[in-house]
Amino acid sequence: MDRKFSHILAVHRRGLQELHKVTPRLFPLMTLCAIISALIPYVTVSFSAQILTELTLYRRADVLWKWVIVSVLSMGIMAMLSAFLKRRFETLYNDVWGRKEILFCRKAFSLDYADVDKQETIDLRNQILQNENWAGWGFGKIPDFYEQAVKSV
């Protein structure tokens, strides 16, 4: 079981590295987007706690307004930043399927013509295409797995 899991991790790591070669901005942007979207609820709770503390304990109107203004501005900035990053991420993510073909083209160009024309090579490529079409597995799932892992952390 442990050996199988380590093999799965190694395959996904290699897939990440290969996709990073053709789309170098995708994974850093995905990481930043996941971090920002994970921080937004904590910032909201933090400012809400400060506002509620001011309302219940001190009742200073001038300080309360400052907390409200800072809260609204910071949440607005974070929402705009999150929307911008998500939009940019979706643009890059939608291009992953086209960019992954670059990997196969580079590999085909590095092979001898005799190897490209072998039935075994053609069968392997067809098997890869079938696996990708079946439930969307293949290179297209790697960004999804990466995003879930970053959000979990």
Q: Express each pLDDT in 37-84 by its tens digit.
A: 889 999 999 999 999 999 999 889 999 999 999 999 999 999 999 999
**Which candidate, 92, 96, 88, places its Cα nearest to that of 132?**
96
State mean pLDDT over 121-145: 81
State mean pLDDT over 26-39: 92
Does the pLDDT at position 5 exceed 70? yes
Does the pLDDT at position 132 exceed 80? no
CA distances from 135 to 119, 132, 140 (A): 26, 7, 10
Of 17-21, 22-26, 67-71, which one has max mean pLDDT? 67-71
pTM of the model: 0.77
